[in-house]
């Protein structure tokens, strides 16, 4: 069931493993799983080189350091590592971009896809920071804590996502 050389596990197995990660998150770190605030930690630390006054912004200062912030940065670094190992063990490494995009958008150049990815990444994290959480922080962790704000944010996320996906792409 958990063969590392398999190219896919059932989404149920994979989801249960993510849910079980709440145990070390709550018991060792004292927080729930989340990923999007690490973008603030990384970008604010990098921006310091260009604009040292960023530390005067309270929001940046709150994210610059400390065990919980660096834990989450390490968490997202670990995701890269885990996915790298997993894809190599199963012989499904990827490169370029997925053939899915040609199916959803018709013929297009890599440059167009990279521009879309950059724009999408910007919008995605900007929105996640306004909502104070993303698919993991509000979705997986917030709903598991029955937080009202997370029910609202996840409903808005799926509603806007469903409308956008049906508007801008061909149905695949």
Residues 127-156 that bind another protein (CB under 8 A): 127-156
| Rounded Cα–Cα distance for residues 129 and 132 (Å) | 5
List binders of another protein among 25-84 (CB under 8 A): 25-33, 35-36, 39-40, 42-44, 46-47, 54, 57-60, 63, 65-68, 70-84
Per CB under 8 A, the list member of 52, 106, 108, 118 interacting with another protein is 118
Residue closer to another protein by CB (options 33, 106) is 33
CB of 49 to another protein, least distance (A): 13
Asked whether the beta carbons of 60 and 44 are under 8 A apart, the reply is yes
CB of 154 to another protein, least distance (A): 7
Per CB under 8 A, the list member of 52, 93, 106, 107 interacting with another protein is 93
Residue closer to another protein by CB (options 52, 81) is 81
Asked whether the beta carbons of 172 and 100 are under 8 A apart, the reply is yes
Site size for another protein, by CB under 8 A? 137
CB of 107 to another protein, least distance (A): 14
* The dihedral sign for the CA sequence 88, 90, 91, 95: negative
Those residues whose C-beta lies under 8 Å from the C-beta of residue 54, and which sit 6 or more positions away, are 44, 47, 48, 60
Distance from the Cα of residue 150 to its chain's centroid? 16
Asked whether the beta carbons of 45 and 62 are under 8 A apart, the reply is no
Tokens 């799983």 belong to: 33
Residue closer to another protein by CB (options 97, 107) is 97
Residue closer to another protein by CB (options 10, 52) is 10
């Amino acid at each position: 069931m958990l063969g590392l050389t398999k190219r896919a596990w059932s989404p149920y197995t994979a989801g249960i493993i993510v849910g079980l990660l709440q145990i070390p998150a709550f018991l060792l770190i004292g927080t729930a799983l989340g990923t999007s605030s690490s973008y603030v930690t990384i970008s604010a630390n990098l921006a310091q080189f260009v604009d040292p006054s960023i530390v005067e912004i309270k929001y940046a200062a709150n994210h610059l350091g400390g065990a919980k912030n660096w834990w989450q940065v390490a968490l997202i670094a670990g995701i890269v590592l885990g996915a790298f190992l997993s894809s190599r063990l199963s012989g499904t490494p990827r490169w370029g971009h997925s053939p899915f995009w040609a199916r959803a958008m018709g013929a297009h150049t890599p440059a167009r896809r990279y521009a879309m990815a950059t724009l999408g990444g910007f919008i995605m994290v900007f929105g996640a920071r306004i909502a104070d959480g993303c698919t993991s922080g509000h979705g997986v962790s917030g709903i598991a804590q029955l937080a009202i704000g997370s029910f609202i944010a996840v409903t808005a996320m799926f509603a806007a996502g469903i409308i956008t996906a049906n508007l801008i792409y061909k149905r695949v």
